[in-house]
Structure 1
Amino acid sequence: MKSYDVVAFGAVGDGIVPATHSFQQTIDACAAEGGGMVFVPAGRYLIGTIYLRSYISLVLDAGAVLLASTDRQHYEMVNVYQRTGNPTAYPGNICAIGVSGVTISGRGRLDGQDQSFWIAKEGAGNSSESTLIAYWPKDWRPMSLLFEHCEDVLIEGITISHSSVYAGWLIDCNRVNINGVTISNDLRGPNTDGFHLSSCRYVTIANSHFQTGDDAIAIDANGTQAASYMTITNCTFHTSVNCFRIYTGLDPWITERVYSLVSQIVISNCSVSEAAGFINLTAEDGEIAGVVVTGITLRMNIEGVPFFLMTNRGSIRRISISQVIAEANGVCTVVGQPGDCIEQVQIAQSQFEITPRKKKYGLGIPEDITGYAYHHFAPYHIYIRHVKSIGFHQVRVRWTDNALPDCWSLLQAEHIEQLVLHRVQGAAYGGNADVPVIALHQAGEVEVAGMKVDAAATVFIRLTGDQAERTRLRLTDNHLELIATEVQSDFRK
């Protein structure tokens, strides 16, 4: 492989002299010879927008820092989403459009100079439990990486730090491998996400660490193809929002609504030291299907809920969550809209230790969902609404204290067609024994087997709604020694 040194083309690594032109000359000279390695030795290189070409391997030596210029004149607006009905544009540092066989690797670093592109808020506070953003964005800020319509992409070993917005935005890219990458962004910066993967396919992310002030990894299908066939494994997270947001719709520049698909996503063997949620699935004008999450350890002090699933004119199907050990202030929330479809959701072999903290919708989310940030305020317990089928198998929920004055059921479900609870353990929260362990409103078919209740309660299952008399309830082998009444029905709406 031929090697081209950016210094030989005039790049100065003092962090002061602009190096954009020298970098682009080096890349273009390498591409003109059919590709090869563009080498960046130790130093601080001030760059604006540079474009990678096909079969270019950009290698950052240890000690090499690519410093984002703060001069607007050093950037180009990169037009993206032009093949959709929702075109937009954004400035970027390292860009690749319609190329193949590109690599960014090495032990060097991209530094986005984040605070140069922000304005500090007044009175934002410093509480680790707050999800408030401490800065306003200025009128422009560059993506550290911005790729569209690329194939065979490798990003390996590098660190991306102090991003002013996303660390990386990849759109309609195929065969992407991200390995051993470190994202180190401000936890209280605006939109300081890790990687956004928009309509990408055949993606692997492994052995990487994410510190972000927004979603660490976002997956959507708002480009020209479905987002599918992704594996994320052996990663660690520290974020003030979600480790994963998987969604259709939602993006603010979308004016033409298109029904899109995200499918075949596997997330495994990950550890979380802080987050407001592990995974947020939001299907707006689209479908999310075939998502597997397994082998997760999770600690959350920020208000939120580990698992949040929501539809708005969309569908969520075939979701499997298993082998999770979580310390948080909520269990999971699954809410649809009337007429939507949420089905075949399974949570299994998991333990939740919940320390409730007062939050806006701790007891239930309003029916009229007008935004997608409800996961921050989602209920403490297992909360389900407008769901076709969901099951919990070998799941334990333990409340660590009774500090809040409110009381609530272990599980609350409204407008649910099929619910299965198999070997679930837990109890209602608070000192009011009259609160049922399970509260069901307008329920269809319910199976509860091998359940163990940890605290005394007057009622095990309370059925309400005008369909209560038609609920098909099957109870077998449950441990109800602390329960006075097994089932109580109220046929009123």
Structure 2
Amino acid sequence: MNNTPSFSRRQWLERLALPAVAAAGAGLVGLPAAAAPVHSALPIAAAPPPSAGVFNVKDYGAKGDGDTADTLAIQAAIDACHTARGGVVLLPAGDFICGTIELKSGVTLHVAANGRLLGSKRREDYSAGKGVPSGNGNIVFIYAANADNIAIEGYGTIDGNGLAFYTGKGDNTGPGQKGVGGNFDRPHLIVFYQCTRFTVRDIFLTNSAYHCFRILKCKHVQLQNIRIYNRVNKNNDGFHFNDTQYVHITGCDVQCQDDACALFGSNQFVTVSDCSFSTRWSVFRFGGGEAQNITVTNCLIYETYGCPIKISSGKARIENLHFSHITMRNVTGPIGIGFTGGGDAGAVDGGGAASFVRNISFSNIRATVVEKPVNHPDIHFGVNVFDGELNSCITLNGVGKAFLENISFSDVHVVYAGGGTQEQAAKRQVPELSAEYFGVWGTKPFGPPAYGLYARNVKGLSLHNVRFSFDKADERPAIVFDHVTDATVHGLSAQGSPSSELIRLVNSSDIIFTAVRVLTPAAVFMKVEGAASEHIKADGDLGRAVKPLVLDAAVGKKAVSIRSL
């Protein structure tokens, strides 16, 4: 004990910090991983070598000169890192041109702040990911399959050079296209398939030739502070998920051309928070499978068309989706839910289980809705506008015997462009289509019969403190309920039209309206149609309506009770 040297507190801290710096590796770019502080007088005989845990791609032959193909060198560094049971593959400052590379278990790819990983412009430099199932284009720039404990990080850039693969054709997987004649022979930027525990943070992802980020059948995913700018090719998605669980997305900024955050199939236990999105098509898009237990909060959505929140499903089991504290500026839609159980008793994938869409809530939403989509000036190709995108509204669309269940809107304020016509207002036969919202409204007269909310086949609908208004006159009702039952509307405020009713109910029952305010003159407060309409009550400030109630001949005299306060 008497031979043990005595260390000051400062010396102990310096000695203990050295292994941590070595382990962090590229966390302090430019500082040797285990270099002793110049003021330390202590010998560090047990310190690891300076390169321990860090695999600099230049040590494996990468040039980073923006001209030489560095694919083999970068892959060699990844392989060496994996063989060493994990570490950091460092891409330092420079422009590294590369074809397909595979990330492997235990590898963290760190792209330094002035480093750029550039996709090759030559198709022959890319291949399908090994172990990634074929279908929907699995040609890929960076991928991992059946791996775990992976990360991509750093303030550098991964650029797919996607403009080099622009042919003017998309993949033709939109409504009714079924991929016929589509362009699939182009690389996705990043694909992870059946991976567990991976993180992507701080990186700038841009210019993919196809989807930016495909995450397929993965678990335990962290996506943090990522910036995506992806607008050089058709089908330029941001995040695209299929059948993935335990996903947490925070602090990301996504500007893309196609779906910004597609959640197809059975995605479960997903949170999205503190992000911003802009795209020509939708942001949160759901379809098929078992999309369950998903929350989206504190997000900004701007210049987004094709409906920011879009749930379009045939056979599915979708439940427990919650959207809160969302600001939308200049959008169309803005919310669309379309659902049908199909013609085979609602079976899902032939398994015989009943399909459903239920328990979906929207709270603290502020939105401005434009009359029609507008091309983004930084997308170099024009995007067609569908007829059904004109004069859009919130759409809840159950078809046939299928009902949406337990849908709620709380503290929602939407300002619409207006401009809806009497011809649209007179529409009674709405096509029974489970298509996306613009498909439902794609028949003449184009657009929905309501400017605020159209709901068909909904059980358990709740509106609390909802306000609908428009910038210019709109001759449609604010709300149309068609085969809606068990609905509660409290604190609705809406602008009316001198030529139409404010609220239209068609074959709807067990509905109560309380504390309703008619904000501008309306011909009629409520019009009720259909023999199935019954047990309807309403009260509120109805003074600006010329008539409080109009019933068609099929409605019973005691079906509706209205009181003006």
Segment of structure 1 superposing worse, 327-336 or 201-210: 327-336
Post-superposition offset of 1:11: 1.2
- What does residue 207 of structure 1 align with? 251
Would you tell me which structure has more strand in proportion to its own residues?
Answer: 1
If you compute each CA radius of gyration, which structure gives the higher value, 1 or 2?
2
Structure with greater contact order relative to length (CA < 8 Å, sep ≥ 6): 1
Are 1:312 and 2:340 counterparts? yes
Q: Name the SS of the counterpart of 2:121 in structure 1.
A: coil
Instruction: Describe the superposition over 1:183-208 as per-residue Cα deviations: whole angstroms up to 9, x where unpaired.
Output: 0011x731111001111111110011
**AA partner of residue 489 (structure 1):** L
TM-score, length of structure 1 as denominator length: 0.86
From 471, 478, 485, the equivalent of 1:400 is: 471
Determine the C-alpha separation between the residues in 2 that align with 1:176 and 1:299. Answer: 29
Q: Is the 8 A contact 1:52 1:96 kept in 2?
A: yes
From 446, 450, 455, the equivalent of 2:511 is: 446
Are 1:227 and 2:267 counterparts? yes
Post-superposition offset of 1:78: 2.9
Unaligned runs of 5+ in 1: 122-135, 249-259
Alignment of 1:120-269 (within 5 A): 120=168, 138-186=183-231, 189-221=233-265, 226-248=266-288, 260-269=289-298
- What does residue 490 of structure 2 align with? 422
From 162, 177, 193, the equivalent of 1:114 is: 162
Q: Name the SS of the counterpart of 1:374 in structure 2.
A: helix
Q: Name the SS of the counterpart of 1:164 in structure 2.
A: coil
Q: Is the 8 A contact 1:53 1:99 kept in 2?
A: yes
Determine the C-alpha separation between the residues in 2 that align with 1:309 and 1:22. Answer: 48
Q: Is the 8 A contact 1:137 1:190 kept in 2?
A: no
Instruction: Describe the superposition over 1:16-68 as per-residue Cα deviations: whole angstroms up to 9, x where unpaired.
Output: 22111111111001111101000001111111111111110000001211111
Instruction: Describe the superposition over 1:335-355 as per-residue Cα deviations: whole angstroms up to 9, x where unpaired.
Output: 011122301100111211111
1:141–1:362 distance in 2 versus 1, CA, 3 Å: farther
Q: Is the 8 A contact 2:513 2:538 kept in 1?
A: yes
Determine the C-alpha separation between the residues in 2 that align with 1:263 and 1:231. Answer: 11
Post-superposition offset of 1:312: 3.0
**AA partner of residue 242 (structure 2):** S
**AA partner of residue 335 (structure 2):** F
Instruction: Describe the superposition over 1:377-428 as per-residue Cα deviations: whole angstroms up to 9, x where unpaired.
Output: 66332111122221111011111112x6xx2101011121222211000023
Are 1:327 and 2:398 counterparts? no
Are 1:474 and 2:537 counterparts? yes
Unaligned runs of 5+ in 2: 1-22, 24-52, 170-180, 342-354, 371-391, 442-446, 556-565
1:43–1:382 distance in 2 versus 1, CA, 3 Å: same
Q: Is the 8 A contact 1:325 1:350 kept in 2?
A: yes
Determine the C-alpha separation between the residues in 2 that align with 1:362 and 1:59. Answer: 55
Alignment of 1:450-465 (within 5 A): 450-465=515-530
From 395, 408, 411, the equivalent of 1:349 is: 411
- What does residue 47 of structure 1 align with? 98
Determine the C-alpha separation between the residues in 2 that align with 1:386 and 1:370. Answer: 12
1:101–1:382 distance in 2 versus 1, CA, 3 Å: same
Determine the C-alpha separation between the residues in 2 that align with 1:234 and 1:76. Answer: 35
Segment of structure 1 superposing worse, 483-492 or 7-16: 483-492
- What does residue 291 of structure 1 align with? 321
Determine the C-alpha separation between the residues in 2 that align with 1:400 and 1:264. Answer: 36
Identity value in percent: 24
Post-superposition offset of 1:287: 1.7
Q: Name the SS of the counterpart of 1:384 in structure 2.
A: strand
Q: Name the SS of the counterpart of 1:450 in structure 2.
A: strand
Post-superposition offset of 1:483: 2.3
From 105, 124, 136, the equivalent of 1:73 is: 124
Post-superposition offset of 1:175: 0.5
Determine the C-alpha separation between the residues in 2 that align with 1:368 and 1:344. Answer: 21
Segment of structure 1 superposing worse, 483-492 or 307-316: 483-492
How many equivalent pairs are there? Answer: 448
- What does residue 61 of structure 1 align with? 112
1:231–1:93 distance in 2 versus 1, CA, 3 Å: same
- What does residue 20 of structure 1 align with? 71
Post-superposition offset of 1:460: 1.4
Q: Name the SS of the counterpart of 2:263 in structure 1.
A: strand
TM-score, length of structure 2 as denominator length: 0.75
Q: Is the 8 A contact 2:314 2:434 kept in 1?
A: no
Alignment of 1:365-404 (within 5 A): 366-369=430-433, 371-372=435-436, 374=438, 379=448, 380-402=451-473
Determine the C-alpha separation between the residues in 1 that align with 2:132 and 2:435. Answer: 23
Determine the C-alpha separation between the residues in 2 that align with 1:27 and 1:350. Answer: 49
